[in-house]
Amino acid sequence: MSIWARISDALAALAAGEPLAQVFERLRTPPERSVAFTIAVIALGAKMAKADGLVTRGEVVAFREVFHIPAADAENAARVFNLARQDVAGFEEYARKIKVMFAGRSGPFAELMEGLFHIAVADGHYHDAEHEFLERVATIFELSPAEFQSLEARFVPGAPKDPYVVLGVPSDASLETIRKTWKQLVRDTHPDRMIARGVPPEAVKLAERRMQDINKAWETISRTAAPEPA
C-alpha cells in the first residue's frame, strides 16, 4: 500500500468520526510516522489556507513541491485534500495532537513549520492572519522565538536576511559559538536524521533550501566577522 493510500485511510477514519488521538496513536511509530507528518502538513495547511480566506493554485503547487505525488496516487491524493477540507477539527487541536505524537527531541517540528511556511508564501504574500496562525502553531510546538524568526527570515518575501537570525544566534556571539551552531544545524539537516525524525523522504527536499540558507549565513558571518583574539 502506497503512502498516499495509507494517508487516505487515516483521514477517512477521521472523517468517519474516529477520534484524532486514536488515529494519531496508530501512527506514532516508524514508518507510519511519515504518514502522520504528511497528514499534519495537509491538515494544518488546509486550516492555514482558511486563515487568509482562500486556497490559491500557488498553494496547491507548493504542496506538490513538498510531496511528490505519482500519477497512480493522484486519486488518493485528491481524496486526502477533500477529507482535510471536510474535517471540522480546529487547527490548535491538530497541532497539540501532533506535538504529543512527536514528543521529544526527535520531533520534526522545524520541518513541519518549513512545509507550512513554504505553502504560506507560495502566492508571494505573507498575510497577517498567516503570521498569527504560524506563530500560534510554533508556540504549541514549543519552537523558540529565535527559531520562528529564523523561519520568517528564510521564507518571507522581503524579510531581512540577517545571517545571525537565520542561524538563530545572538549577533554578539563568538565566532566559535556560531561555528558550533552552524555545524549542528548541518548535522540535523542530514537526510538520514530527518527521516529518523519521521519526515517522509518526499519532503526531505525542503532540507536542500535549509542547507543553502544556513551555509550562506555562515559564509557571510565568517567572511565579515572580526578575527578573534589569539
Per-residue pLDDT for the chain (230 aa), expressed as one digit of tens each? Answer: 567 777 778 777 877 778 767 777 777 766 677 777 777 777 787 777 766 665 556 666 666 666 667 777 767 666 666 666 666 567 888 788 888 877 765 568 888 898 889 888 887 888 888 899 999 999 999 999 999 999 999 999 888 889 999 999 999 999 999 999 999 999 988 888 887 777 777 667 778 888 999 999 999 999 887 565 54
Q: Between the CA atoms of 50, 52, 55 and 56, what dihedral angle is there, to the nearest 10 degrees? A: -170
pLDDT score recorded for residue 185: 93
> How many CB atoms sit inside 10 A of residue 109's CB?
20
CA–CA separation, 217 vs 164, rounded Å?
7
In angstroms, how far apart are the furthest CA atoms of the chain? 66
CA–CA separation, 145 vs 11, rounded Å?
32
- Say if residue 229 is preceded by a cis peptide, omega within 30 of 0: no
**The three cell numbers locating residue 8:** 487516505
CA–CA separation, 76 vs 138, rounded Å?
29
What is the separation, in whole angstroms, between the first and last Cα of the chain? 60
Q: Please, are residues 197 and 111 in contact by the beta-carbon 8 Å criterion?
A: yes
Q: Please, are residues 200 and 39 in contact by the beta-carbon 8 Å criterion?
A: no
pLDDT score recorded for residue 88: 56
CA–CA separation, 148 vs 135, rounded Å?
7
Q: Please, are residues 137 and 95 in contact by the beta-carbon 8 Å criterion?
A: yes
pLDDT score recorded for residue 57: 60
The amino acid sitting at 123 is D
Which residues are CB-neighbours of 199 under 8 A, at least 6 positions away?
A: 34, 37, 108, 111
pLDDT score recorded for residue 78: 66
Q: Measured between alpha carbons, how far is residue 220 from residues 101, 150, 189 in Å? A: 37, 15, 19
Instruction: Give the domains, in start order, of the chain with CATH numbers.
Output: 3-160 (1.10.3680)
Closest-CA residue to 103 (of 61, 142, 134) = 142
CA–CA separation, 90 vs 205, rounded Å?
29
